[in-house]
Amino acid sequence: MRSKRIEILFFAGCPHIELATARAREAIEASNVSADIALLEVTDSADAIARRFLGSPSVRVDGTDVDPSAWERSDFGLQCRVYSTGERLDGAPPSAWIAAALQDRVAVAPQPSAPQHHGCCAASAAPPAPRLSTHLRSILDALVEPLLNVFPLETAPVMVALFRQLARGAPVAHAELALSTGGTVGEIDDALAKVPVLDYVDGRIVGAALTLRETPYAFEVEGRRLYTWCALDALFLPVILGRRCRVSSSCPATGQSVRLDVSPDGVVEAAPATAALSAPLAASPDDLRASFCRYARFFTSPAAVERWAPGDDAGSLAVVDVHEAFQLAKAVASALRWA
């Protein structure tokens, strides 16, 4: 049997790294499984997002977090992590959780507790990033499977490179993606052959969520006017691009303008302040743009969505304000490993 790998992710100054390491050793001994322990320092916010870091210390076995409730979270960042076992709060996961992961079992999920801080280090003073609400989680769960059928995880590095190249405002050739990713043209060809929704003109890509073709969703980045396929795209792209962007559209119910100023951290400003987004509760991987994009739109208010939605479709649309929509979009990008 091959050796397992335990990764302990932390930031400098975390007072609980020794406790987490000791519990990892206890778990190895208790489970009678061969395992190596690696300490991985997370250096900054960008690194935290890239590593999907939920706080210090985080313990993973073969890449999977040992905390049974970790899958519910998308609040990645430099923060102090508190573990709830249902009985008490602790600064590191119990050795039983680590042992369960070493034995390919899942520990019993604790009852959730309110967010709390240790008060033990500088990161404790930072406000915790929000978790997805149950409402947003249900929307995300409905979307992830069809999206993964269209954008397989193994294509994520190429897709991120593609988004960033398209943001420059010109069609993108496979050879350019090979250069930016360090791969070969053949590898790029193989990866993008798995993504059936790409829009090509003369052998170059002009659209993939971000597009050079005009749509109802104008997207301005660094002075360049581009477009997105749907409203949700316009909210996750600032996260991937790491740039503040301006989004403008018109409400299909009222005809009025909806304008957003979106940073990688959230919606900075919305006009009108009541702006909302409609999100389909189902999507078909066979025609993602028809089944999802045509219904994911910006509105001046939640009431406007209700006036616009056809009777048969009203029950299949969720309505969220644009700040919630940003959290949903960020979670989608995270699930696809784009951010």
Number of C-beta neighbours around residue 21 at 10 A: 18
φ, ψ for residue 270, nearest 5 deg: -130, 135
305 burial (CB, 10 Å; 0-12 / 13-18 / 19+) is buried
Q: Does 293 qualify as catalytic in the annotation?
A: yes
Separation CA 27–CA 278 (nearest Å): 46
Question: Tokens 């313990």 belong to which residue?
Answer: 59
Q: Which of 14, 245, 251, 293 is catalytic?
A: 293
Distances (CA, A) of 171 to 57, 197, 199, 288: 43, 15, 10, 22
243 neighbors 220 (Cβ within 8 angstroms):
no
Q: Which of 65, 233, 245, 251 is catalytic?
A: 233
Separation CA 93–CA 95 (nearest Å): 6
Question: Under 8 Å CB-to-CB from 52, ≥6 apart: which residues?
Answer: 76, 334
Question: Under 8 Å CB-to-CB from 213, ≥6 apart: which residues?
Answer: 199, 206, 207, 227
Separation CA 205–CA 203 (nearest Å): 7
For residue 134, is it left (φ>0), alpha (ψ between -120 and 50) or beta?
Answer: alpha
Separation CA 143–CA 332 (nearest Å): 8
Q: Which of 14, 230, 245, 251 is catalytic?
A: 230
Which residues have a catalytic role annotated? 230, 233, 293
